Amino acid sequence: MINQLQDYNPSGVGEINGNLLGLPCDYDSANLIVFAVPWEVTVSYGAGTANGPQRILDASVQLDLFDFDHPDGWKQGIFLVEIPQEIIEKNNYYRDLAAQIIERLAQGKLLTDTPDLTPVLTEINQASQQVNQWLFTQCQVAMNQGKQVAVIGGDHSSPLGYFQALSAKYPNFGILHIDAHADLRDAYEGFEFSHASIMFNGLKLPQISKLVQVGLRDISHDEVQMIDESHGRIVAYYDPMIKQKLYGGTNWIELSREIVNHLPEYVHISFDVDGLDPKLCPNTGTPVPGGLELEQVFCLFRELVNSGRKIIGFDVCEVGDGEWDGNVGARVVYKLANLMDLSHKQ
């Protein structure tokens, strides 16, 4: 498929052509390359997010392309690399093995009890590392060609290889993290690359100078301690505190600007949809009451762009296996694609 965007009618019917939004472009002609990582091996509550990329793809062709922030954003060319069937098959295999470990731990038993599950845990950690390496390589190849890159998970462990690729290119960047959870657990349930450990693992990269987390409301004592003892490297905006300030009359625009001011010039946005009110993402892996409205988060992202900072990448994770979830997820992906493009044009 050659780039046919110059002749494309953005008001026409979305074509089901295997690409996001039905846009008529391919890897070579697109500016933004999107990688799907259908991986949720370590999910500890609800499953289904491995189907999130497909749900987003299916819903995306129903979206109208006019974007209030960047009406011509679609012209950049957006291409979703084919969802890798091999990773789906590996996910299904290792997900069943991981469930045995999770069940054993939930029963208060040791992995070394009979049958010994420690070799299974080692195998799962190695398989997760292979997915990370695959994504790192794919992202680096695209970025070396001058492409922008984005990732759609799977669970929130999905973008680690992408963080590593960004770290190879940018000596200093921050992460703006939308989530109900801090994801700062060290090898949660023994899984080195757990969905609950993505930011713990990300912070091993010294290039990530700042982590600003927004919407947190389901968090462990150890994670709060890690935030408090990070000497400002991690800044948390807890959902109850956000609500208390808004109820007291604080302006969300002002609060958004305060949040943005913690971030360096280059910013990656890591968006776990369970940071939103669960009415928007009912089938996400670990839903939590409370959370943010979609337009509220978009307002925050606009303030990020308005500040002159550059969005160098984004990931959207934990989109559930439901039609409505895919609808919301597709809108998040398209908005971030447009705001990232806009941030580099200003």
Residue 90 pLDDT class (50, 70, 90 cuts): very high
CB atoms within 10 A of CB 68: 9
| Listed residue (217, 181, 186) closest to 203, CA to CA | 186
Residues 6 or more apart whose Cβ sits within 8 Å of residue 10: 65, 66, 74
Q: Measure the N-to-C terminal CA separation of the chain; round to a whole number of Å.
A: 30
Task: Tell me the residue range of the domain where 122 lies.
Answer: 23-345
Tell me what percent of the residues of the chain surpass a pLDDT of 90: 90
Tell whether residue 183 is among the known ligand binding residues.
Answer: yes
Assigned domain for 27 exists:
yes
Using H for helix, E for strand and C for coil, what is the string for the chain? CCCCHHHCCCCCCCCCCCCHHHCCCCCCCCCEEEEEECCCCCCCCCCCHHHHHHHHHHHHCCCCCCCCCCCCHHHHCEEECCCCHHHHHHHHHHHHHHHHHHHHHHCCCCCCCCCCCHHHHHHHHHHHHHHHHHHHHHHHHHHHCCCEEEEEECCCCCCHHHHHHHHHHCCCEEEEEECCCCCCCCCHHHCCCCHHHHHHHHCCCCCEEEEEEEEECCCCHHHHHHHHCCCCCEEEEEHHHHHHHHHCCCCHHHHHHHHHCCCCCEEEEEEEHHHECCCCCCCCCCCCCCCECHHHHHHHHHHHHHCCCEEEEEEEECCCCCHHHHHHHHHHHHHHHHHHHHHHHC
Q: How confident is the model at residue 3 (pLDDT cuts 50, 70, 90)?
A: low
* Domain annotation covers residue 38: yes
pLDDT band at 345 (very low <50, low <70, confident <90, very high): very high
pTM of the shown model: 0.97
Q: Is pLDDT of 13 > 50?
A: yes
Q: How many CB atoms lie under 10 A from the CB of residue 43?
A: 25
Report the mean per-residue pLDDT for the chain: 95
Report yes or no on 7 lying in a domain. no
Counting the structural domains of the chain, the total is 1
Residue with structure tokens 């700042």? Answer: 210
What are the tens digits of pLDDT across the range 241-275?
A: 999 999 999 999 999 999 999 999 999 999 999 99
Which candidate, 269, 197, 268, places its Cα nearest to that of 226? 197
Return the pLDDT at 1: 45
Whether the pLDDT of residue 222 is over 70: the answer is yes
The model's confidence at residue 190, banded by pLDDT at 50, 70 and 90, is: confident
In a domain, 187, yes or no: yes
- Does residue 163 form part of some domain? yes
**8 within some domain:** no
> Does residue 32 fall inside a structural domain?
yes
Does residue 154 fall inside a structural domain? Answer: yes
Q: Please tell me whether 181 is known to bind a ligand.
A: yes
CATH assignment at residue 110: 3.40.800.10
239 annotated as a binding-site residue: no
Q: Is 272 annotated as a binding residue?
A: yes
